[in-house]
Structure 1
Amino acid sequence: MFYYMVRGKVLHALLVVLLGVYVGGMQGCNYWWHVDHALMRQPGVVVQEDLMDVTNSAFVTVRIKGHDLKMLVDTGCSVTLIDGKWKELLGEPIRTSEVYGVGGTDEVQWYNHPGLSINGVKMRTGNWVISNDTICPLLNSFTDDEIDGILGLADLVHYCIQLDFDANELRFVGRDEIKPEELGEGFRLQWMKGGIVGIEESLLSESESLSFIDTGDRGYGALRAIDYYRTSTKQQLMTDRFMSGGVGGTRVSSYAKYPSVQLGQLQFKDIALNENNADRNRIGMGILSQHLVTFDMVGGMMYLKPRESGTKPHNYYYVGTRLFREDGVIKVYSTKMGSVAEEAGIQKGDVVVRVNDEDVSKMGLQQVKKMLAGPYPAEVQFELERDGERMYYRLWMDRMGL
């Protein structure tokens, strides 16, 4: 999840200004604005599929002042973020504040929006962008994406956007091309606290919580704590905990495997949902990517149509290591509590040298992760390095909740 909410002494002032420019104080209502420009259509912008066969992420290349930047398309981020290495494109900062996201808080600088284009078409944007030096490198250390920033909701709300995972495309679609009767089930979008959008659906029939839409969340989503603990305890669900990390350091997170959840008339089986510290539920790409997704931002609607190719089964087995890339090498970021990796003594910071006798130094991070995620049952051979010494492990896949 990449949900950034401005915090600290400038919280309310900045949110009022930010939302006032775009929605005129319309947060939480069903009134949406109209734009007086021609919506563009740019087929062929790539949606990159995750190698774990679990979730997907959407990326788009934008051009800012003659430079091409790879951006994660993230409806859970209220404003566009540019990595600090591109600050020379942004001019002088106009303010500094704190944001919350990626597991912690961090300081960002605000800039007047430099403008951007996609495939040579100048986009209508918001008024500001934010930037810092740590958020993108942190995200990149856990993936092979190498993003230069996050394209946030303030720059997306002016368009109709379609995520077609079967065609592997992200498309900007003109409203006159949208035929709601052909796009599946429709959901009314609503503004929520923090400058993000959600729907009047909770995933659970016994919950009345709204759910915000987060295309930056690679997982299935999350439930607010009160719903998570009530349902996981009542239904005696398989639950588990893991160490997660972010700007604010590591913390223990919980998740449960739900046999069935629902959005409108759409049902989903065997879904792993995290506990969410916020006061609303979250719908991530694990659910969204099972559909042709259409965001009619101008009309205030989201449509979900099940994919023609069907969905891929979730693999619930692996050895319990979370990997990341640091200084050009793949290392263990954490081991899952109670996993075979933790019991074997594998530690944070161990360098991964070989997996199943294959040298991983030239492999992508996701390729190595996939080797550790099944099939089950299977034995995994690890060669690790710690303090200059080589260590060898033979581990069997374990049943995991996620």
Structure 2
Amino acid sequence: MPLACCLHGERKFVPAILLLFTLWQAKPAHAQEEYIEPPSKFITRLPITLFTGGVIVLRARLDDHPDTLNFILDTGSSGISLDSTTTDYLKLKPTEPQKTIRGIAGLKRVGMLNDRTLYFPGLAVDSLDFHVNDYQTLTSVYGEKIDGIIGYSFLSRYILKINYDSAYIDVCSRGSIKYPKGGYLFRPFINTLPVQAAAVKDNRTVQSRFLYDIGAGLCVLFSKDFIEDSAFLKKKRKVYAKQAEGLGGKIDMHITILKEFRLGPYKFKKIPVNIFDDEFNVTSYPSMGGIIGNDLLRRFNCILNYSKREFHLKPNTHYNESFDYAYSGLEMYMIDGDIQIAEVAKNSPAEKAGLKMGDVVIGVNNDFTQNLNRYKVAMQAPKQKVKMVIRRDGKLQEVTVSIKSIL
């Protein structure tokens, strides 16, 4: 049956099949015009500083304050935060505690600083809601003031191209993008935090999911529950006690060697891994087995595209670097302007050398710069002897630590 339509006042008859064909042709063309995504555009290039374990630090200003602040870039953070001492220094008043945040060492109620703006070179990021937390432990660990952590609130707005070879990040607008050749495109599950599948192999091979965490200065972190339930780690594998730091403070861990860790097509053998008792279920076990940290991820130049849920990784010049197999059993922190021994593990090389908590480190291997990061790097010398000059009870002493290898 023909359909009737009115054209310029005249009554015309158009075959139904012809009308339907015309409508069908027009609709896809219109739909294509609506959904063509504009290409991503370069916005600015930000220099970065790498701390121990590959942790990335960015510098930015807050609102109209002239001071430049240090922020850790962290895919393991579901928001954005500011240090409480920095908040006091800037004379800012957060709200009463209204939000609970969770870290490897505890839960904490925090206040908020709402609707703030961060100013990077060539980029202003507005409408940011900061939670306020105490990052004094992180400042002590790295020997430089840590003013905050930048997470999902920033990461989700842009495409970030992180170049560890040249120490910069290109910030680009969201949009269509052509990934470089020679890498691999991952599609992590992202609900503020990116979760990526990976395989671990030791006594047997096990598939699990891991938090993709560039704010963690380690290779891989397993929850104790995952280790015990999966039984993939050889029972006679030797473990070494150490201490780590995170949200909520310090936490005891153990470090050992894993036969193989596979991330997509990339395989890493004899990789150092940390194991901890996940009391606060940061890893959401059994949903995840642990965390992939930046001492492994820094071996790739990467593109983080949160809007498309795509991470592109391409091996860089650090890809074949040796892992840190050194074990001294000591932890050095910057405390009240001094580099101090803050932890000495029982039966460790540090304890056998006679080091004690509270010893002030004056120099390491004739380096008296008082640069904490350089001292930590100097201790990464498996099967080597490291000379330290310390001050104890007002007197200087020279101590030699025979660094172990966990291999």
> Shared fold (TM-score greater than 0.5)?
yes
Using a 3 Å threshold, how does the CA distance of structure 1 residues 253 and 308 change in structure 2: closer, same or farther?
closer
Equivalent residues in 2 for 1:268-347, closer than 5 Å: 268-276=268-276, 277=278, 278=283, 279=285, 280=288, 281-308=290-317, 310-347=319-356
Query: In the alignment, what sits opposite 2:359?
Result: 350
Using a 3 Å threshold, how does the CA distance of structure 1 residues 342 and 329 change in structure 2: closer, same or farther?
same
Indicate the percent of aligned positions where both proteins have the same amino acid.
21
Query: In the alignment, what sits opposite 2:61?
Result: 63
Equivalent residues in 2 for 1:94-105, closer than 5 Å: 95-101=97-103, 103-105=105-107
Using a 3 Å threshold, how does the CA distance of structure 1 residues 288 and 60 change in structure 2: closer, same or farther?
same
**Distance between the aligned counterparts of 1:91 and 1:382, measured in 2?**
43
| Contact 1:202/1:208, CA 8 A, preserved across alignment | yes
Specify the code of the residue in structure 2 equivalent to 1:109.
G
What's the offset of the Cα at 1:60?
Answer: 2.0
1:225 partnered with 2:224: yes
1:364 partnered with 2:365: no
Specify the code of the residue in structure 1 equivalent to 2:54.
N
| Contact 1:124/1:155, CA 8 A, preserved across alignment | no
Query: In the alignment, what sits opposite 1:385?
Result: 391
Secondary structure in structure 2 of the residue aligned to 1:182 = coil
Query: In the alignment, what sits opposite 1:85?
Result: 85
**Distance between the aligned counterparts of 1:120 and 1:234, measured in 2?**
51
| Contact 1:125/1:154, CA 8 A, preserved across alignment | no
Specify the code of the residue in structure 1 equivalent to 2:106.
G
Query: In the alignment, what sits opposite 1:373?
Result: 380
Higher strand fraction (1 or 2):
2
**Distance between the aligned counterparts of 1:178 and 1:38, measured in 2?**
6
TM-score (norm. length: structure 1): 0.78
What's the offset of the Cα at 1:318?
Answer: 4.7
Per-residue CA distance 1:321-340 (angstroms, 9 max, x = gap): 21011111110011233212
Query: In the alignment, what sits opposite 1:15?
Result: none
| Contact 2:48/2:56, CA 8 A, preserved across alignment | yes
Specify the code of the residue in structure 2 equivalent to 1:239.
V
Structure 2 residue ranges without an equivalent (≥5): 1-34
Equivalent residues in 2 for 1:201-220, closer than 5 Å: 201-203=198-200, 206-220=205-219
What's the offset of the Cα at 1:56?
Answer: 1.3
Secondary structure in structure 2 of the residue aligned to 1:201 = strand
**Distance between the aligned counterparts of 2:195 and 2:127, measured in 1?**
21
Specify the code of the residue in structure 1 equivalent to 2:399.
Y
Query: In the alignment, what sits opposite 1:12?
Result: none
| Contact 2:256/2:406, CA 8 A, preserved across alignment | no
Structure 1 residue ranges without an equivalent (≥5): 1-33
TM-score (norm. length: structure 2): 0.78
Query: In the alignment, what sits opposite 2:20?
Result: none
Using a 3 Å threshold, how does the CA distance of structure 1 residues 310 and 234 change in structure 2: closer, same or farther?
closer
| Aligned with 2:196 (options 190, 195, 199) | 199
Secondary structure in structure 1 of the residue aligned to 2:42 = coil
The higher relative CO (CA closer than 8 Å, separation ≥ 6) is in: 1
Query: In the alignment, what sits opposite 2:178?
Result: 179
Specify the code of the residue in structure 2 equivalent to 1:61.
R
Query: In the alignment, what sits opposite 1:8?
Result: none
Specify the code of the residue in structure 2 equivalent to 1:380.
V
Specify the code of the residue in structure 2 equivalent to 1:198.
V
Secondary structure in structure 1 of the residue aligned to 2:50 = coil
| Contact 1:42/1:119, CA 8 A, preserved across alignment | no
Aligned length: 356
1:266 partnered with 2:266: yes
Per-residue CA distance 1:27-53 (angstroms, 9 max, x = gap): xxxxxxx9x999663443123234x6x
Secondary structure in structure 2 of the residue aligned to 1:140 = helix
Moved more, 93-102 or 213-222: 93-102
**Distance between the aligned counterparts of 1:244 and 1:170, measured in 2?**
27
| Contact 2:334/2:372, CA 8 A, preserved across alignment | yes
What's the offset of the Cα at 1:144?
Answer: 3.6
What's the offset of the Cα at 1:350?
Answer: 1.2
Query: In the alignment, what sits opposite 2:163?
Result: 164
| Contact 1:321/1:341, CA 8 A, preserved across alignment | yes
Query: In the alignment, what sits opposite 1:49?
Result: 50
